[in-house]
Structure 1
Amino acid sequence: MTRTNEYQQPIGEAVTDWKARERPARIGIDGRHCRIEPLDVERHAADLFDAYGRAPDGSDWTYLFVGPFANFESFRDYLTKAEASADPLHYTVIDSASGKAVGTLALMRIEPVHGVIEMGSVTFSPLLKQTRISTEAQYLLMRYVFEDLGYRRYEWKCDSLNAPSRKTALRLGFEFEGIFRQAIVYKGRNRDTAWYAIIDRDWPRIRRGFERWLADDNFDANGKQRASLAQLRDESAG
Structure 2
Amino acid sequence: MPHTPMYGHTCDVVPLQPAHAAELHAAFSQDRTGALWTYMPTGPFQSEAAYCQWVTQAATSDDPLFFAIINKADGTAIGVASYLRIQPAHGVVEVGFITFSSALQKTPMATEAMYLMMKRALGELGYRRYEWKCDALNAPSRRAAARLGFQYDGLFKQALVYKGRNRDTAWFSILDQDWPRLQAEFKAWLDPSNFDAAGKQKTALRFEGEP
Normalising by the residue count of structure 2, what TM-score does the alignment of the two structures yield?
0.97
AA matched with 2:56? T
- Letter paired with 2:6: I
> For the residues of structure 2 that align with 1:84 and 1:212, how far apart are their CA atoms?
36
Contact kept? 2:123, 2:179, Cα under 8 Å: no
1:31 aligns with 2:8: yes
In structure 2, what is the equivalent of residue 234 of structure 1? Answer: 208
Question: Aligned residue pairs: how many?
Answer: 209
Question: Would you say 1:104 and 2:80 are equivalent positions?
Answer: yes
Q: Do the aligned partners of 1:209 and 1:234 also contact (CA within 8 Å) in 2? A: no
SS across alignment from 1:146: helix
Could you say which residue in structure 1 is the equivalent of 2:67? 91
Q: CA deviation at 1:222?
A: 2.0
**Distance in 1 (alpha carbons) for counterparts of 2:9 and 2:201:** 17
Secondary structure in 2 aligned to 1:85? Answer: coil
Is 1:38–1:91's contact at 8 Å kept on the other side of the alignment?
Answer: yes
- Counterpart in 2 of 1:82? 58
Q: What's 1:174 paired with?
A: 150
Unpaired runs of at least 5, structure 2? none
Matches within 5 A, 1:111-126: 111-126=87-102
Find the aligned partners of 2:181 and 2:160 in 1 and give their Cα distance.
33
The 4+ residue runs of structure 1 with deviation greater than 2 A are: none
Q: Secondary structure at the match of 2:177?
A: helix
State the structure with more CA Rg: 1
CA–CA distance in structure 2, aligned partners of residues 88 and 121 of structure 1: 8
Q: Partners in 1 of 2:196 and 2:88 — Cα distance?
A: 42
**In the alignment, which residue of structure 1 is the partner of 2:49?**
73
| Counterpart residue identity of residue 156, structure 1 | W
State the percentage of identical aligned residues.
48
Q: 1:174–1:197: 8 Å Cα contact kept in structure 2?
A: yes
Structure 1, unpaired ranges of 5+: 1-23
State how 1:190-209 maps to structure 2 within 5 Å: 190-209=166-185
Write out per-residue CA displacement over residues 166-211 of structure 1, whole angstroms, 9 at most, x where no aligned residue.
0000000000011000001100100000000000000011001111
* Structure 2 partner of 1:60: 36
Determine which of 11, 17, 24 is the counterpart of 1:40: 17
For 2:126, which of 118, 141, 150 is the aligned residue? 150
User: How far does residue 64 in structure 1 lie from its aligned partner after superposition?
Assistant: 0.3
Check conservation: 1:87, 1:109, Cα contact below 8 A: yes
In the alignment, the residues of structure 2 paired with residue 200 and residue 81 of structure 1 have an alpha-carbon distance, to the nearest angstrom, of: 32
Q: CA deviation digits over 1:87-130, x for unaligned, max 9?
A: 00000001110100000000000111100000000001011101
CA distance in 2, matches of 1:64, 1:142: 21
User: Over the residues paired in the alignment, what is the CA RMSD in angstroms?
Assistant: 1.0
The structural deviation recorded for 1:234 is 2.5
Question: Which of 132, 150, 155 is matched with 2:108 structurally?
Answer: 132
Which amino acid counterpart does residue 144 of structure 2 have in structure 1? Answer: T
Q: Could you tell me which amino acid in structure 2 is paired with residue 234 of structure 1?
A: E
8 Å Cα contact 2:150/2:174 also seen in 1: yes
2:206 paired with 1:215: no
1:141 equivalent in structure 2? 117
Deviates more, 1:111-120 or 1:221-230: 221-230
Please give the secondary structure, in 1, of the residue aligned with 2:66: strand
